Amino acid sequence: MHMKVPLHPGELVRDSIDELGLSVAKAANRLGVTRQQLHNVVSGRSGIAPEMALRLERALGGSAEPWLRIQMNYDLARLRGQASVSGVTDFTRGAIG
């Protein structure tokens, strides 16, 4: 069964900074990152790393963990559609050796 890939968390970051009336440049400045770094996140070119999640926690409130969960769910959904696990053997069936 094919699962739909969830939104990239950068889209949620973009929505948050838009709601606050901030440009990417101004938001990047307040986050303490370069404009290019933030642009890469909001455009889906880069993921949200733990450090960025902590910066978002400080800047937007809430906690870093949801940002990291959203990123992990996005990454897993994308990889499930692409990754080949054909060479992997089920450890629970048969002898391991």
Residue 83 has pLDDT above 60, yes or no: yes
More confident residue, 12 or 84: 12
Q: Does some domain include residue 90? A: no
Q: Of 38, 36, 37, which Cα lies nearest the Cα of 16?
A: 38
Q: How many Cβ atoms from other residues are within 10 Å of residue 66's Cβ?
A: 14
Query: Residue 76 falls within a domain, yes or no?
Result: yes
> For residue 45, which amino acid is it?
R
Residue 95 lies in a domain: no
pLDDT in tens, 16-59: 999 999 999 999 999 999 999 999 999 999 999 999 999 999 99
Query: How many domains would you assign to the chain?
Result: 1
Indicate the angle between helix axes 9-19 and 64-80, nearest 10 degrees. 140
Domain of 65, CATH number, reads: 1.10.260.40
Q: What is the pLDDT of residue 80?
A: 86
* Owning domain of residue 22: 9-80
Q: Among residues 66, 82, 74, 68, which one has the least CA distance to residue 5?
A: 74
The share of the chain scoring above pLDDT 70, in percent, equals: 93
In a domain, 86, yes or no: no
What radius of gyration do the chain's Cα atoms show? 17
Q: What does the CA dihedral 63, 64, 65, 66 come to, rounded to 10 degrees?
A: 80
